Chains A and B, each alone.
Chain A
Amino acid sequence: MAEEAAVVSRPTQQLSSRAGWSDIKARHPWLVFLLSRVARLVVVCALLLVGTFLMVRLMPGDPARRILGLQATPEAVELTRHRLGLDRSQFEQLWSYCRNALHLDFGESFSQGVPVRELIAERFPKTVELAAAATMVLLIVGFGVGTLMAVLTRDGRRPRLDATYGTSMGALSAVPDFVLAALFAVVFGLYLKWFPVAGDNGLSSLTLPTLAVAIPGIGFLSRVVRAEALDVLSQNYVRTARAKRLTSWRIYVRHVMPNAAYGGVTLAGVSFASLVGGTVVVEQVFNWPGMGSALTSAVVNRDYPVVQAGVLLLGATVVIVNTLVDVLLAIVDPGALREN
């Protein structure tokens, strides 16, 4: 009888629990929203933490032998393995890595002998600088060109321009950034001497890597923006605005742009997040002192601490930026918050 009662009461409890959760969501939408995002952030970071640890150890080769070389004596290899902590069990290494990572201590670089935290503090801001500059160029040019082309080609106007635009933007987005980087370095750096071929000497050094990173994205973004803008331009409220003989400026600024802003914020966040982790090869070509070039060397050198910390940082950055975008969108459109 008691069992029967329990069985009967279970759906009721679930119902009541669901009702309670809905109630909490209804009363504290922001709290629930933020908690869910923080939980997601923690889970992703935890997965990254363990995932990168396992990933680097799956790569073939012994870092100690890699550092010392073929001719190193077995004693030297053992000594180095001990110094690097590689003679401990995998579980001990994982435990120590996770425990220290919680204190933001990522150990010492195998190949450079400096604390990884210092290396990141020096390198990561340079990657953010490059990614931020590229995102700005990407958004300004991408939105500008996309919106302009929507206006010029709406309702089937200027078909030749439309075809030319589509082809050129398609080609642009198909060119890999490292090809553009090499091309820019040779043409604008070496032959025309308009910009430095490599290094970090202020704004002039930032120009070529920024363009190399941003341009392939512009081809894609401007086409997306154009499609979105064409959609907005065909909406009834725009037609109404035109029927009221509002000025073009007012139509675009008051009616078209705000409706495009939602997508804009999303794209800005996604672009920045992807560019933070996507500048690796371009940094290498321009010897830009960011995380990308440090990560490339670290992978080649089997520098476990740098790879682990670098991947974790880049991954966490993507998740954090996406979370911020979600928050921003929730502010812009509270309706989305309720849906969440």
Chain B
Amino acid sequence: MRGMSMSVKSPLRLAAAAAVVTLAGAACSGESTSNATKGGGSELAAPGGTVTYRMAGAPDSLDPFKTVTGTTTPITYATYDTLVQYNPKTKAYIGVVAKSWEVTPSSIKFQLRSDVKCRDGSAFTPTDIAASLKAYTDPKTGSPYATRWLGKAPLTFTADDAGSTLTITAAEPFGALLAGLKMVPLVCPAGLKDRAKLASGAEGSGPYELADSKPGLSYTLKLRDDYTWGPSGMTSGAPGVPETIVLKVINSDATAANELLAGTIDVSGLGGVDAQRVQSNKSIAKTVVATQGQWSVVGNEAAGHVTADPEVRHALFQAIDRRALLLAYLGATASDVELGTSVLPPNMPGYDASTKELVPQFSPDAAKATLSAAGWTESGGHWTKDGKVLQVRVIGAGWGNANEYLASQLKNIGVDVKLSVTDDNGWLADLSSGNYDITIFPIDNSIEAPTGVMSFYVGALPPAGTNFIRNGDAELSALADKAAASVGAEADKLWATVQTKLLRNYDLLPWQVPVTSIYTSPKVTLQINGLPSTLAIRRTKG
């Protein structure tokens, strides 16, 4: 499971859907910037009523220890609490079950709320919470995200029920532990005792209970009447909080748009032409939610590829008009999206705005000059060096017309391009095997910390790691490891250095910071404020 609040299929992934599977579905780690362009200041209704929410795919599992796809998150984060959430807008963590915390590179001490209750009415104590976290780290559990969220080093949990504190100590420094903990759904003792219950129900302390499920079709959440400890004022009695949320699985964006316009669903993420169709209806509101992803263009740096030469990558990046590429991908909705300015997205800790100057600017003439300076000769419409023609294999997986446009921009400066556009599975296979020179690299919204983003650009190469660009700079990897083991200002400083080195070596061209566009019917508004999307739904009097 990825951490995501916004359930729905990222609208900007268009038909490519999945393209990034991977990155797909995940969400905007809990809290996100919300900008209602229409219908924003509606008066809220009294708590109660029913809201129908579109899920873009069927959940793989309801069990938080097993689920791996972002499609489950609307259910998971409505029925299970986490220790903290993160607000990308303020770049600050907010407490859920935790009231406050003290962070060091190798430990976090949480002061917990004492009023948290499980679904069955029992108190959710620090000891219970420690047991839940331990269960994730237990190899027998087989949770696929345990090491990513909680680190590889053994953790020690010290719970003090009387003082309502929980201290987590890592055997080795792990700076992303707090970021990882915002993703971990806390399972109550009833679920730990009988894991089978988790496959068809939810044993958490979240505001909703899973009242009914028709696997692959629909899921019904019922509001608890005793939930008083939610973040950002999310309580059972808060104005507009729906009593029932029906999560309906609708795979097709076109069908979801029809249902939204017909009033049979109230909330849906949409992209492309279907988003434009819905936007033309004045009664439908749109909320643009910032995510923690960033799409870039990258080159394969493995030996034997022309893109192993930094100056070739530099020239290719100079040939790319990023804004035009965005239009080719998104069409009219491109205006919702900002261009990337560094390696990390702006709303992630460690982002360094000063690196903006290092991003190669679009200039076909400069690109040709860079190639000439690197010893390439242009003749007969081709670039050659030592008898070898400058030819690149561009791979992609849908993404509107972005791949085709990218290829055309490279051709414009005389590069021979072999374009291979498949589905996301084919693209992923090529990426993993290194069968490419240039590709768009879509990190959507599922990354919780800089370590996650950086793992694509430094560190172990595939298949041992996820350094898909095959960057063999050991020194840079060591620096990234040092940053990953740090916290606070020290970590920010180290991440800034890593970003600078990556951009100076033309390891990537930051392209765009994706957003999730959520459309709502007149009877609903979203109050994100750091909440997972299902918890941000409020009914209006309209």
Give chain A's interface residues, CB within 8 Å of chain B. 59-62, 65-76, 79-80, 83, 110-114, 118-119, 122-123, 182, 185-186, 189-190, 193, 196-199, 284-287, 289, 293-294, 296-297, 300-302
Contacts and interface: CB of A to CB of B under 8 A. Distances in A.
27 contacts: A59-B425, A61-B425, A61-B428, A61-B429, A62-B429, A62-B432, A66-B21, A66-B424, A69-B23, A69-B24, A70-B443, A70-B456, A71-B23, A72-B148, A73-B147, A74-B465, A75-B147, A76-B144, A79-B142, A113-B66, A119-B216, A186-B258, A189-B258, A197-B255, A297-B57, A297-B58, A300-B423
Given A60-B426, A111-B58, A119-B215, A189 B148 contact: no
Given A62-B429, A111-B60, A294-B216, A71 B456 contact: yes
Given A112-B60, A198-B255, A287-B255, A73 B264 contact: no
Contacts of B447: 71
Nearest to B72: A113
Contacts of A74: 460, 463-466
Interface stretch (B37-45, B185-193, B246-254, B496-504): B246-254
Nearest to A297: B251
B382 to A, nearest CB: 30
A38 B9 CA distance: 46
A288 B74 CA distance: 22
Interface in B13-51: 17-18, 20-24, 26
Contacts, number: 163
A8 to B, nearest CB: 63
A68 B144 contact: yes
Nearest to B455: A71
Interface in B407-425: 422-425
Contacts of A112: 58-61, 215-216
Interface string B438-480: 0000010011000010011000100111101000000000000
A119 B258 CA distance: 26
Given A285-B254, A302-B425, 19 more contacts: A61-B425, A61-B426, A67-B60, A67-B68, A70-B431, A70-B456, A71-B446, A72-B466, A80-B68, A83-B142, A111-B58, A113-B62, A119-B215, A122-B214, A122-B217, A185-B255, A287-B251, A287-B255, A300-B423
B309 interface: no
Contact of B432 (A65, A76, A83): A65
Closest 8 CB pairs of A and B: A61-B425, A69-B22, A76-B144, A113-B61, A70-B22, A60-B426, A197-B258, A197-B262
Contacts of A118: 215
B353 interface: no
B199 interface: yes
B150 to A, nearest CB: 12
Between B17, B62, B215, B432, the greatest number of chain A beta carbons within 10 A of the residue's beta carbon is seen for B215
B423 to A, nearest CB: 7
A302 B23 CA distance: 16
A113 B456 CA distance: 29
B428 A70 contact: yes
B264 A79 contact: no
A284 B255 contact: yes
Contacts of B259: 197-199, 287
A167 B270 CA distance: 39
